[in-house]
Structure 1
Amino acid sequence: MDATSLRELRPDDPTRIGRYRIEAKIGEGGMGAVYLGRDPDERPVAVKVVRAELAGDRTFLARFHDEAANAQRVASFCTAQVLEHGEDLGLAYMVTEYIDGPSLLQHVSDKGALSPGMLHGVAVGVAAALVAIHSAGLVHRDLKPSNVLLSISGPRVIDFGIARALDMASSHTRTGQVVGTPGWIAPEQITTQQVTPAVDVFAWGCLVAFAASGRNPFGQGSFQLLAARAVHADPEIDDLPAPLAGLVQAALRKDPAQRPSARDLLLALVGGAGEAAVTTELGEAWTSPPAGDPGATSRDVPAPSPAPAPPPEPAPSPAAPTAQSPSPPVPAPPVPSPGPVTTAPEPVAEPEPEPPTEPAYERRTDPPTERQYVAPVAPPGPRPGGRDRPSRRTTLIASTTAAVLTAAAVAGAVYYLNRPSGNARNTGAESATFPADPMFVRIDTAPGWPRECHGDIGVYKPGDRSATTLVKGSQCDILPERSPDGKLVAFTRQRPQRAEAWVVNADGSGARKVTDMARGTRLTWSPDGTRLAYMGDEDGVRQIFTVPLRGGPATQVTTDSSAKDDPMWSSKGRIVFWSKRDGDAEQIYSLDPNDPGGAWKRLTSDGVRAVDPEWSPDGSRVAFVRGEATGSDIWLVNADGSGAHALTSGVVRDMDPAWSRDGRWLAYVRGDVTEPVIHAIRAGGEDDRVVSPEGSTLGHPNWS
């Protein structure tokens, strides 16, 4: 962001948002205003503040925070790192790194087409950013030259992960409306087809063609004219050099299923070279815009060694490409460096229909999809905005810094592109830090769940070929829960009209009934392992009870009339659960079971369905399932209700979180309830992997 484009604050502009001091206004767009701010350590940040009328739309706000939390998970390879989001002074906001540099649109408008070196750097950098964005389960939806900033260390893509929020604003979209930026949206966005990562690949092709010529490949004109050309006309890409021309041509195919994925683009651009060769190529290719001659054109800078051109017509893939599409048989190299970020006027995206709601435990989704995560590379230190044009000595230092940053990003990208697929079955040897502990599970011995239950209680160690049955029979046994000392397992035995709480030794011996309970719910252990909490029916309302394991009267903990379920006792003594006490949507609460009728603490408050809470072993955090039954994610929140954020994301159902003993991993179930697949993911959001064995149907994981 050039200092000359910053505007002084007006009386109606905020001077502080959250913990950030506001210094100047960067710009304004359809979603709101963007400001230059400073954090408490005086580092520059970009603060995007949502318009007041949108901030009053609960549907928009829920989606905005959801998408901002997802965007925080995007690895910082050539992207704008999202630092924080929240609400203050009645306004919703999102904070990102501040990038000191012009947008691609501004640079091309002022100085013309990019030099071959800068063109290659932009093509590689934006492709790398898309790999990171798509790997986090997001689609940018509004990639365009104004959303690519040219920093001294390389291109940075901004405003990813928030375009979809505007779609969901109930008072600001309508069915059938095409929302987007003319000249950059894909044919399927215009014809309101399904939005996949392929729309970003199409936009990448338009963007690279624009950078090479200064013109959109589909010309200029009204939205209708540009839309018609995008759907029916061939793009004009005569200004592109031969290696890039083939890739851009493939990216601009009308059929999204025939476009390469972002990963395919990145591999083709770096030509399958080794890490050192790619580092050299990108380091020499990228010339920082502020350092170059204002009059320099593509004729003034020698082009880097061209990467091999892709095959003239790659075979179509069976489905729209994604960041997880199978890669071509090329050694996996890498991606340019990370960096900070400003924010430009926000993207506008096309609407998607709301998924239909279905009863809990009966939802249907698409088959489970792969999720992968790239560990972020530490961004460079902050640079003050608004400085004068650098001297030759400064430029040399900056170029050296850029090469170092590129090398760091290359190393990270080599790891990402070569790491085992998240869809691969875990062997137990992929990570030395993956828990060696087995999981207690529900084993489905016949299909039909949940309408027909054929569940046994078993134990499964990730990497084994199958689970071992502990409790079997014709009855329905579900929801195993390990005791604090690991010597016992509690589980729910479903009967046609009722349910029972049972306990069994960890080796499967000594099974015995403890008490009757409500159907379809779980048991949980007190911290000392002497009591169980469960749901019971009292005057037609489900209430939380506790009962001594060795016998004795039960104690009723709750007495209110609200719907509630999923109790979970923490190591610090509190019970967490969901309730509809304060509205129509389930929200997460905690209470002290030793104070029946005492105050509840509300941990979630955004009005989005939140169920199945699970305490971390140290009692400091709660994992829970957030979202409607057709497409929920796993979220984390601190015990005091702060810091809520998404751990998983995607379009399929994620459910049943369970912590490892050390609190560093969570197991969860992904997919349709009839065909559950157990995954495991680090508590920081990395290394998502499938752990279910082949040929078995396991559910309700509980790490022993």
Structure 2
Amino acid sequence: MLITKVLLAAIGACFLSAAPGNRDAGKSDMQDSTRQIVSHLQTIDVTTLDRQIVLDTAVHLEAPNWTPDGKSLIYNSKGLLYRIPLQGGTPELINTGFAKRINNDHGISPDGKMLVISDQTENGSSLIYTLPQEGGAPVKITPKGPSYWHGWSPDGETLAYCAERNGNYDIYTIPVTGGDEQRLTTADGLDDGPDYSPDGKYIYFNSVRTGTMQIWRMENDGSNPEQLTTDEKNDWFPHPSPDGRWVVFVSFSKDVPPGQHPPEKNVELRLMNLQSGEIKVLASLFGGQGTINVPSWSPDSKRVAFVSYSYTQP
């Protein structure tokens, strides 16, 4: 489900906007004629670092969401959406109607009644739709594309997403029923990955505006942006925990261009304590694109779901 990424061009310490990642549905950059990709869908305890496998499969899958009832994970694979019990088992295909090119930007409403997807079936450009959690006909929310969903406000009323308009990728919000979109970021460079704090006051996001990809947050109207990470790594996709104590994100090395989050990289899943600012490594893994693109916290804030990858030997 991956799309060719437009390279960021360096201008001094800043970078121009580019397409936010390899997200084209139904395609994978993790291809090798002599080896077979294996996806490892798993969860990790953020305190003990205990890891539990939910599914090992020779199919490329991405971007788990944890359902609000705590019982299942939802993920995408080959343009479709699946649900699997937390204890493992046979994945269930979710009926998404005409939407057959779903990329790795999807999620679940706070009350668990609705799903949101970013899909490219209509005209090849990613658009955002909602549908019932049990499956059904998608309803278009964003008439313009490309638009990539990332966050649902805790009150259920607003969607946050990354979108390209007039050559620049920024963060936008829109009512969950559709309507006028609101642009929240205007800085030079790519802004991506918006996700709401559990109280709805803040939107966390990643931005390349300082020259490397770092984690930021702002008020939910786009005001008062604040940089949270300042390291040499390139940090993507911040997800605050339901209890408001933590933010989990994925970190690429400084050798990866700041505006890209490719697959097949050695990356770190990292956790920030929002009170102290301390950051610790939860896991070092082979992955990147598809590992933790969307919110994946357990409802009790104890575990995070993610995907790592490996290749079988020829």
Cα deviation, 1:8-34, whole Å, max 9, x if unaligned, reads xxxxxxxxxxxxxxxxxxxxxxxxxxx
Whether the 8 Å CA contact 2:197–2:240 is kept in 1: the answer is yes
| Matching residue within 172, 188, 195 for 1:614 | 195
Conservation of the 8 A alpha-carbon contact between 2:212 and 2:234: yes
1:645–1:684 distance in 2 versus 1, CA, 3 Å: farther
- Among 552, 558, 572, which residue is 2:155 paired with? 572
Asked whether the equivalents of residues 357 and 629 of structure 1 are also in contact (C-alpha less than 8 Å), the reply is no
User: Do the aligned partners of 2:184 and 2:222 also contact (CA within 8 Å) in 1?
Assistant: yes
Q: Which has the larger radius of gyration?
A: 1
Query: Does residue 126 of structure 2 align to residue 542 of structure 1?
Result: yes
Q: Distance in 1 between matches of 2:233 and 2:152?
A: 28
Q: Relative to total residues, which structure has the larger strand share, 1 or 2?
A: 2
How far did 1:524 drift? Answer: 0.8
The structure with more helix, counted as a fraction of residues? 1
- CA distance in 2 between counterparts of 1:462 and 1:508 reads 20
Cα distance in structure 2, aligned partners of 1:615 and 1:353:
28
**Aligned 8 A contact 2:153 2:196 in 1:** yes
* 1:521 aligns to 2:104 (yes or no): yes
Q: CA deviation at 1:360?
A: 5.2
Instruction: Give the drift of 1:656.
Output: 2.0
For 1:587, which of 145, 160, 170 is the aligned residue?
170
Q: Amino acid of the residue matched to residue 677 of structure 1?
A: E
1:501 is aligned to: 81
**Equivalent runs, 1:321-340 vs 2, <5 Å:** none
1:661/1:703 contact within 8 Å kept: yes
Give yes or no for contact 2:17–2:169 (8 Å, CA) kept in 1.
Answer: no
Q: Note the 1:216-227 alignment, pairs <5 A.
A: none
Give structure 1 stretches of 5+ with no counterpart: 1-167, 171-351, 363-448
Query: Shift of residue 518 of structure 1?
Result: 3.1
Contact 1:634-1:646 within 8 A present in 2 as well: yes
Q: Which residue of 1 aligns with 2:247?
A: 666
Shift of 1:565: 1.0
- 8 Å Cα contact 2:251-2:268 kept in structure 1: yes
Q: Specify which of 678, 685, 693 is matched with residue 269 of structure 2.
A: 678
Using CA pairs under 8 Å that are at least 6 residues apart, name the structure with larger relative contact order, 1 or 2. 2
Would the alpha carbon gap of residues 638 and 465 (structure 1) be closer, same or farther in structure 2, given more than 3 Å must change?
closer
Where do 1:393-542 residues align within 5 Å? 451-452=30-31, 454-462=38-46, 464=48, 467-493=51-77, 495=78, 499-509=79-89, 511-514=91-94, 515=96, 516-537=99-120, 538-542=122-126
Equivalent position of 2:305 in the other structure: none
Q: Is the 8 A contact 1:656 1:668 kept in 2?
A: yes
Q: Deviations over 1:346-401 (max 9, x none)?
A: xxxxxx66679987558xxxxxxxxxxxxxxxxxxxxxxxxxxxxxxxxxxxxxxx
Please give the alpha-carbon distance, in whole angstroms, between the structure 2 residues aligned to 1:571 and 1:492.
23
The aligned residue for residue 309 of structure 2 is none
Q: Check the 8 A contact 2:63/2:75 in 1, yes or no.
A: yes
1:648 & 1:471 partners in 2: Cα distance? 32
Show the counterpart of 1:230: none
Given that 1:358 and 1:630 are in contact with CA atoms closer than 8 Å, whether structure 2 keeps it comes out as: no
1:467–1:629 Cα change, 3 Å: farther
Superposition deviation, residue 511 in structure 1: 2.3
TM-superposition CA deviations, 1:306-352 (whole Å, max 9, x none): xxxxxxxxxxxxxxxxxxxxxxxxxxxxxxxxxxxxxxxxxxxxxx6
| 1:578–1:353 distance in 2 versus 1, CA, 3 Å | closer
Q: Tell me which residue corresponds to 1:690.
A: 281
**Mapped partners of 1:602, 1:355: distance in 2:** 19
1:125-145, Cα deviation, whole Å (9 max, x unpaired):
xxxxxxxxxxxxxxxxxxxxx
For 2:189 and 2:173, the matched residues in 1 are separated by 17
Summarize the Cα distance change of 1:504–1:687 in structure 2 as closer, same or farther, 3 Å threshold: same
Mapped partners of 1:626, 1:539: distance in 2: 28
Identity of aligned pairs, percent? 21
Cα pair distance change 1:558/1:360, threshold 3 Å: closer
Aligned to 2:217: 636
Q: Secondary structure at the match of 1:703?
A: coil
Q: Distance in 1 between matches of 2:187 and 2:17?
A: 18
Aligned to 1:144: none
If the length of structure 1 is used for normalisation, what is the TM-score? 0.34
RMSD: 2.9
Alignment of 1:181-260 (within 5 A): none
Using the TM superposition, give the Cα deviation of residue 548 of structure 1 relative to its aligned residue in structure 2, in angstroms: 1.1
3-state SS of 1:606 partner: coil
Supply the distance in 1 between the matched residues of 2:188 and 2:123 (Cα, whole angstroms): 28
Provide structure 2 residue ranges, at least 5 long, that are not aligned to the other structure: 1-9, 23-27, 32-36, 254-261, 299-314
Contact 1:566 1:611 survives alignment (8 Å): no
* C-alpha distance 355-620 of structure 1, shift in aligned 2 (>3 A): closer
| Secondary structure in 2 matching 1:586 | strand
Return the TM-score normalized by structure 2: 0.73
Q: Give the Å deviation of 1:668.
A: 1.0
Residues 550-597 of structure 1: CA distance to partner in whole angstroms, max 9, x if unpaired? 23322111212x32213322221211001122x322111111122x2x
For 1:356 and 1:530, the matched residues in 2 are separated by 38
Structure 1 residue 463 displacement after superposition: 5.3
Question: How far apart are the structure 1 equivalents of 2:20 and 2:196?
Answer: 22
2:301 is aligned to none
State how far apart, in whole Å, the 2-side matches of 1:662 and 1:669 are. Answer: 20
Q: Find the counterpart in structure 1 of residue 135 from structure 2.
A: 551
Instruction: Report how far residue 681 of structure 1 moved.
Output: 0.9
Q: Structure 2 vs 1, CA of residues 612 and 685 (structure 1 numbering), >3 Å: closer, same or farther?
A: farther
One-letter amino acid of the structure 2 residue matched with residue 508 of structure 1: G
Amino acid corresponding to residue 110 of structure 2 in structure 1:
P
Aligned match for 1:703, one of 264, 286, 297 = 297
Q: Give the paired residue count.
A: 259
Q: Are the counterparts in 1 of residues 239 and 249 from structure 2 also a CA contact under 8 Å?
A: yes
Mapped contact 1:356–1:630 kept (Cα < 8 A): no
Q: Deviations over 1:50-107 (max 9, x none)?
A: xxxxxxxxxxxxxxxxxxxxxxxxxxxxxxxxxxxxxxxxxxxxxxxxxxxxxxxxxx
